[in-house]
């Protein structure tokens, strides 16, 4: 199939790989974490202080045991998700400290906001997994907020969720809570029930929190995204090719650690590297370089037979306006089309990750629905073509009253919940509403109609008691 988006040939991908191997072997990567350094040392890696140097054979060995796909189990088995190869998931925004209101005002996010986003994910037709830290609640103590987020994730939504990589201890607490929900740690040891986000610190470092979390999560069979977020021209080279080599080195370093901890631990090759805006010095995630890198990320992950992560509904705009729509749709579409498997930040993000917006959440969610539909393969069978029907309707006939149209009119074509398809008069009569205004109405309706999913009362009691005990201890 002809595709204008740049396809990397095997030779080009090998060149990127070789450059990464050169960087890993000669410059190395800092791991600010004692156990990580011990693990590398025990496996015969060359270490200088906190710098770990990698030989190509060690990386290749790790890549051999990485699963190319895996399932993440949800509290509701109907909502289990598959990640890898042709299967992909949309996952909401992550890490925003603020909420931008429908009036365009920025305010600090609260725990109530976090719960509301859990509710929206639960009732979403298009978002396949719950996130983590969708907003950072300012009204909760920083030291224990991860417990509250885990609890809301489990109680308010029955989809698979992301885990807490705040620190080694935070990761362990997340694991213990998941163990309560699934009836024992042994029940989740070989069964991922969470995916956690492990970020490198570009260039070429891993913090103690991230490396410690990665070790605990991999050890307990929980999935991790190992991701790099390079700002081209600031925390990485200004050229996209240079970024590809640098992020590849960082990701492979993390992947190698995960497989040293536990062979076969499910990990995802991740990047949302983009450009720095050269006029302001700000990170730009609405830049076309983001989408170009998304495509490279998907291709390099396939080069290593790994699932990939990128995203999402990303924008620099501070309001759910046309800029937000353009930038988010381009990035989401590129990610889905190029084969990204885990699309983090699929919905809600505004202002280069600074804020979540309820209205933007709904807009992006709709984009996810459109995209999922676009990539639905058609059968191209005699039945789906149905030349007999076309001949029988004949010249100048119509298909509106044909039984086949009646039968398929709800399932064959995508029905939008949000986009306006009204004529001018109907639109005028409905108040000439912009899409963000339509979304604002729908947010309240969705939250009002939300019903909490069932959970075993014993499990709920144990989870709540666990959180209370940790907070008091």
Partner 1 sequence: MSDLKTITETLLTGDGEKVAELTQAALDAGLSAKEILNQGLIAGMDIVGARMESGEMFIPEVLMSAQAMGGAVEILKPLLSDEDAAGGGTIVLGTVKGDLHDIGKNLVSMMMESAGFKVVNMGVDIDPDAFIQAIKDNDADILALSALLTTTMPMMAQTIKSIEESGLRDKVKILVGGAPVNQSYADEIGADGYAPDAGSASKLAKALLA
| β-strand pairing of 223-228 with 267-271 | parallel
CB of 411 to partner 1, least distance (A): 11
Q: Closest separation between CB of residue 416 and partner 1, Å?
A: 11
CA distance 50 to 260: 17
CB of 32 to partner 1, least distance (A): 56
Query: Of 42 and 410, which has the nearer Cβ to partner 1?
Result: 410
d(Cα 191, Cα 346) in Å, to the nearest integer?
Answer: 25
Candidates 111, 156, 155, 157; CA nearest to 134 is 111
Enumerate the H helices of 342-402 as residue ranges: 358-374, 382-385, 387-393
Span near partner 1 by CB under 8 A; candidates 238-246, 328-336, 367-375, 399-407: 399-407
By CB under 8 A, is residue 1 in contact with partner 1?
no
User: Does 425 engage in binding with partner 1 (CB under 8 A)?
Assistant: yes
**CA atoms of 34 and 296, how far apart (whole Å):** 33
Number of residues that bind partner 1 (CB under 8 A): 13
The site string for partner 1 over 403-422 (x = CB under 8 A, - otherwise) reads: x-xx--xx------------
Q: What is the nearest approach in angstroms of partner 1 to the Cβ of residue 433?
A: 15
Separation between Cα atoms, residue 215 and residue 260, nearest integer Å? 9
Cα separation values, 150 from 56, 144, 160, 174, Å:
38, 10, 12, 7
Smallest distance from the beta carbon of 410 to partner 1, in angstroms?
Answer: 7
Chosen residue from 103, 401, 445, 472 binding partner 1 by CB under 8 A: 401
Determine which residue in the list 385, 426, 430, 465 makes contact with partner 1, applying CB under 8 A.
426
In this complex, which beta carbon is closest to partner 1, that of residue 441 or of residue 454?
441
In sequence order, the β-bridge partners of residue 143 are: none
Contact call for residue 445 and partner 1 (CB under 8 A): no
- Terminal Cα distance for the chain, rounded: 60
What's the token pair of residue 159?
């989809």
Which pairing describes strands 274-276 and 231-232: parallel, antiparallel, or unpaired? parallel
Q: Which span (115-123, 279-287, 302-310, 424-432) binds partner 1, by CB under 8 A?
A: 424-432
Distances, alpha carbon 287 to alpha carbons 63, 252, 352, in Å: 31, 25, 10
- Among 280, 378, 423, 445, which residue interacts with partner 1 (rule: CB under 8 A)? 423
CB closer to partner 1, 44 vs 403: 403
Closest to partner 1 by CB, 405 vs 464, is 405
Q: Decide if residue 424 touches partner 1 (CB under 8 A).
A: yes
Work out whether 190 is an interface residue with partner 1 (CB under 8 A).
no
Count of CA atoms in the C-beta half-sphere (13 A) of 471: 15
Of residues 149 and 438, the one with the C-beta less far from partner 1: 438
Given 1, 400, 448, 449, the residue binding partner 1 (CB under 8 A): 400
| Shortest distance in whole angstroms from residue 320 CB to partner 1 | 23
449 binds partner 1, rule: CB under 8 A: no
* Shortest CB 10 distance to partner 1, Å: 48
Task: Report how far residue 84's alpha carbon sits from residue 308's, in angstroms, rounded to the nearest whole number.
Answer: 7
Residue with tokens 């978002």: 127
Query: Could you say whether residue 398 binds partner 1 (CB under 8 A)?
Result: yes
CA–CA separation, 406 and 398 (whole Å): 13
Residue with tokens 């005990």: 469
Residues that bind partner 1 (CB under 8 A): 398, 400-403, 405-406, 409-410, 423-426
């Amino acid at each position: 199939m002809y595709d204008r988006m740049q396809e990397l040939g095997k030779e080009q991908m090998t060149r990127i790989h070789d450059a990464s191997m050169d960087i890993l072997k000669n410059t190395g990567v800092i791991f600010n974490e004692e156990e990580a350094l011990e693990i590398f040392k025990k496996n015969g890696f060359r270490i200088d202080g906190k710098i770990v140097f990698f030989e190509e054979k060690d990386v290749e060995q790790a890549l051999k045991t990485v699963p190319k796909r895996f399932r993440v189990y949800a509290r509701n088995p109907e909502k289990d998700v598959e990640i890898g190869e042709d299967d992909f998931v949309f996952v909401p925004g992550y890490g925003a400290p603020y909420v931008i209101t429908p009036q365009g005002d920025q305010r600090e996010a609260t725990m109530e906001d976090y719960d509301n986003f859990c509710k929206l994910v639960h009732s979403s037709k298009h978002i396949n997994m719950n996130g983590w830290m969708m907003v950072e609640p300012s009204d909760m103590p920083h030291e224990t907020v991860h417990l509250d987020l885990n609890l809301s994730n489990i109680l308010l939504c029955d989809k698979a969720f992301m885990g807490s990589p705040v620190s080694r201890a935070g990761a362990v607490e997340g694991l213990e809570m998941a163990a309560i929900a699934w009836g024992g740690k042994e029940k989740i040891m070989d069964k991922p029930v969470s995916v956690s986000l492990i970020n490198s610190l570009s260039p070429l470092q891993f913090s103690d929190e991230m490396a410690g979390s990665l070790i605990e999560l991999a050890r307990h069979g929980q999935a991790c995204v190992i991701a790099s977020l390079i700002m081209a021209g600031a925390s990485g080279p200004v050229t996209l090719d240079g970024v590809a080599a640098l992020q590849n080195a960082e990701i492979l370093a993390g992947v190698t650690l995960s497989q040293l901890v536990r062979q076969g631990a499910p990990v995802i090759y991740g990047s949302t590297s983009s450009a720095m805006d050269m006029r302001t010095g700000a990170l730009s995630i609405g830049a076309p370089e983001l989408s170009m890198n998304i495509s490279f990320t998907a291709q390099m992950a396939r080069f290593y037979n790994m699932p990939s992560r990128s995203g999402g509904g990303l924008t620099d705009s501070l309001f759910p306006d046309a800029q937000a729509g353009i930038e988010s749709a381009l990035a989401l579409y590129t990610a889905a089309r190029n084969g990204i498997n885990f699309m983090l930040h699929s919905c809600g993000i505004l202002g280069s990750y600074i804020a979540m917006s309820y209205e933007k959440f709904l807009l992006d969610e709709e984009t996810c629905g459109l995209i999922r539909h676009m990539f639905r393969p058609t059968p191209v069978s005699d039945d789906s073509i149905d030349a007999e029907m076309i001949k029988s309707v004949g010249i100048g006939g119509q298909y509106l009253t044909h039984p086949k149209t009646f039968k398929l009119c709800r399932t064959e074509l995508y029905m939008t919940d949000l986009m306006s398809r009204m004529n001018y008069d109907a639109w005028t009569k409905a108040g000439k509403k912009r899409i963000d205004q339509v979304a604002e109405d729908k947010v309240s309706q969705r939250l009002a109609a939300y019903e909490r999913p069932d959970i075993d009362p014993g499990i709920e009691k144990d989870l709540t008691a666990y959180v209370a005990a940790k907070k008091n201890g």
